[in-house]
A and B are shown apart, each in its own frame.
Chain A
Amino acid sequence: GNSVTQMEGPVTLSEEAFLTINCTYTATGYPSLFWYVQYPGEGLQLLLKATKADDKGSNKGFEATYRKETTSFHLEKGSVQVSDSAVYFCALMTNAGKSTFGDGTTLTVKP
């Protein structure tokens, strides 16, 4: 079946540090890939997405590139802020509409 493997957390960084959260996937065909963010006490919300190989999704300074050759979709941000503290989920959706989520990575940014 399909699977999404995320870098284990928690991740703690100082403000303005560089962030990478690794995500790799296993799926048949050509899924779409997503990063969702969950702030404390809230539901998940879409951060960015990519629908085909070599696409780059970006939003709020975060970026991720769909790498089919390495089946990866790593999330990066050049300079994190305290307000970026949240749980980040990598997810895929197949052409049949089935979603699979990673386990989530908790990010804490300290001032």
Chain B
Amino acid sequence: NAGVTQTPKFQVLKTGQSMTLQCAQDMNHEYMSWYRQDPGMGLRLIHYSVGAGITDQGEVPNGYNVSRSTTEDFPLRLLSAAPSQTSVYFCASRLEGGRSYNEQFFGPGTRLTVL
């Protein structure tokens, strides 16, 4: 199993550009999520999905869109990049089914810089 994969690893954008961060998992996990990690602020949830065709907003959704057309893939779209979106982005997945003790599996992250 490859686990959770993310591409690209690094990206530099100019203000106003758009792009898609890719995330895929091969563990047949229902739940997938996107976090951003900023210094001294831990991880903050952007969007999440409990299954194909179902997505919902997290704590900091503004400026980001998601879709979930398959169980495996959960791309994150930046509509019009802003310097405030400079961050490290992590995709995670886990089993669903109401089990609160299911650990999350994280991808290696995408380091995004917006100039």
Interfacial residues, chain A to chain B (CB-CB below 8 A) = 4, 31-32, 34, 36, 41-46, 49, 51, 89, 93-97, 99, 101-104
Nearest CB of chain B from residue A88's CB, rounded to whole Å: 11
Q: Which residues of B contact A49 (CB under 8 A)?
A: 101, 103
Whether A99 contacts B104 by the Cβ 8 Å rule is yes
Q: Which of B14-22, B60-68, B76-84, B105-113 contacts A (4 or more CB under 8 A)?
A: B105-113
Whether B100 contacts A31 by the Cβ 8 Å rule is yes
Whether B96 contacts A103 by the Cβ 8 Å rule is no
| Secondary structure of the B contact surface, majority rule | loop
23 residue pairs bridging A and B, Cβ less than 8 Å apart: A4-B42, A31-B100, A32-B101, A36-B106, A41-B108, A42-B109, A43-B4, A43-B90, A43-B106, A43-B108, A43-B109, A45-B106, A46-B104, A49-B101, A89-B43, A95-B100, A96-B100, A97-B31, A97-B96, A97-B98, A99-B104, A101-B35, A102-B42
Choose among A44, A45, A46, A51 the residue with the greatest number of B CB atoms under 10 Å from its CB.
A44
Given contacts A43-B107, A44-B90, A89-B42, contact A95 B98 (CB under 8 A): yes
B27 at interface (Cβ–Cβ under 8 A)? no
Chain B, 15-52, CB within 8 A of any chain A CB: 31, 33, 35, 40-43, 45, 50
**What band does the interface of chain B fall in when counting residues whose beta carbon is under 8 Å from A?**
20 to 34
Chain B, 53-102, CB within 8 A of any chain A CB: 90, 92, 96, 98, 100-102
Q: How far is the CA of A95 from the CA of B90 in the complex (A)?
A: 23
Q: Which residues of B contact A102 (CB under 8 A)?
A: 42
Nearest CB of chain B from residue A55's CB, rounded to whole Å: 10
Q: How far is the CA of A37 from the CA of B43 in the complex (A)?
A: 13
Choose among A43, A46, A93 the residue with the greatest number of B CB atoms under 10 Å from its CB.
A43
Given contacts A93-B100, A95-B100, contact A101 B107 (CB under 8 A): no
Whether A99 contacts B45 by the Cβ 8 Å rule is yes
Q: Which residues of A contact B103 (CB under 8 A)?
A: 34, 46, 49
